[in-house]
Amino acid sequence: MKKQPETHQPPFSGITTFSRLPHTTSVGDQEFDLAVLGIPFDGLVTNRPGARFGPNAIRQSSIRCRNYSQQMEVGVYERLRAIDVGDVTVNPFDYLETFREIENRVTELQQRGAAVVSLGGDHSILLPILRATNRKYPKLTMIQFDAHTDTSDEGWGQRFHHGTPVRRAIEEGLVQGSRIFQIGIRGSSGSARYNDFANDAGIHILNMEAFHDAKLRGEFVKTLHEVAGSDPCYLTFDVDGIDPAFAPGTGTPVVGGLTSFEALSMMRSFRGLKFIGGDVVEVAPAYDCSDITSLLAATLVFEIAALIAIGRTG
């Protein structure tokens, strides 16, 4: 397996994999550094469904993600042996089975030494990803772009919907609250106590007003680097962290969010951290306009890969 070929085919041509990477579902004994993994599951959303079509929409829009990130100043596929491993076998009617499949698949890939970047799917998939990741990386720092803290509790009797993965991850001890850094939080909620769990858990929250305060933003980044140090980092990116003008194709949009540039620029400030994986979730193509959301999501996946490349190879 080699780096992404400078294929002679034009970008709109050929069976579509992420960034035109080689594809295999049976990884066998291959060695590789980066696995792009689709998780087309949206069974736990509270508002607009449709993120099950996210992985293939992101792949389709990724055809122009090349090798060299001008944003991160790194040649991603020069540094990483990367592969598109296809999709987890989800069960649209059974989240428990789906969670097991996700956990097993991520574990298998991580055991081969690969960093895994997942294409969602709704944000509930974060929990089984973290369950797998915790085995290999028990001391994880997690950065989260999101409009919501995802520390909500049971809704309509369901403990594991897409508004609760961060709460469950903390409860299950998969990641400490004080090692979680959230960016883009905003909007309305049932009560002022909505964020009590997050605050009690010590989550670092950079809400939108704070994000636009250069001093607060600088301190947040500084603390992040202090906390993470050289320990493994994971980046979970809910596209609703971005403003609906830039990412209309999502299930629970909230106005007043980040611009694409602000998110990319923030990610650039994470260079030097040791990323071991990530995900981009909540892309619902039925609500997209001219594929701008899936293009954004593909770019975010690519830039996460760039951070991984920097973290692995300096």
Least distance (Å) between residue 139 CB and a copy of itself: 31
3-state secondary structure of 135: helix
Place of tokens 């975010």: 300
Burial 269-297 (b: 16+ CB within 10 A, else e): ebeebbbbbbbbbbbbbebbeebbbbbbb
54 vs 232, beta carbon nearer a copy of itself: 54
Least distance (Å) between residue 232 CB and a copy of itself: 25
The DSSP bridge pattern shows strands 74-75 and 68-69 to be antiparallel
Least distance (Å) between residue 110 CB and a copy of itself: 21
Least distance (Å) between residue 135 CB and a copy of itself: 25
45 vs 140, beta carbon nearer a copy of itself: 45
Least distance (Å) between residue 231 CB and a copy of itself: 27
The DSSP bridge pattern shows strands 82-87 and 34-39 to be parallel
18 vs 137, beta carbon nearer a copy of itself: 18
User: For 180, phi and psi rounded to 5 degrees?
Assistant: -110, 135
Least distance (Å) between residue 255 CB and a copy of itself: 4
Least distance (Å) between residue 61 CB and a copy of itself: 9
58 vs 140, beta carbon nearer a copy of itself: 58
Least distance (Å) between residue 126 CB and a copy of itself: 17
For residue 142, give the nearest of 235, 221, 212 by alpha carbon: 235
Q: Dihedral (C-alpha) 164, 165, 166, 172: value to the nearest 10 degrees? A: 110
25 vs 230, beta carbon nearer a copy of itself: 25
Rounded CA separation 22/172 (Å): 36
Give yes or no for a contact between 129 and 118, defined as CB atoms under 8 angstroms apart.
yes
Element (H, E) at 169: helix 165-171
Q: Dihedral (C-alpha) 58, 16, 265, 279: value to the nearest 10 degrees? A: 50
User: For 158, phi and psi rounded to 5 degrees?
Assistant: -105, 120
Least distance (Å) between residue 134 CB and a copy of itself: 25
140 vs 185, beta carbon nearer a copy of itself: 185
Rounded CA separation 46/43 (Å): 9
Rounded CA separation 97/95 (Å): 5
For residue 260, give the nearest of 276, 271, 248 by alpha carbon: 248
Rounded CA separation 310/201 (Å): 30
172 vs 196, beta carbon nearer a copy of itself: 196
7 vs 111, beta carbon nearer a copy of itself: 7
42 vs 103, beta carbon nearer a copy of itself: 42
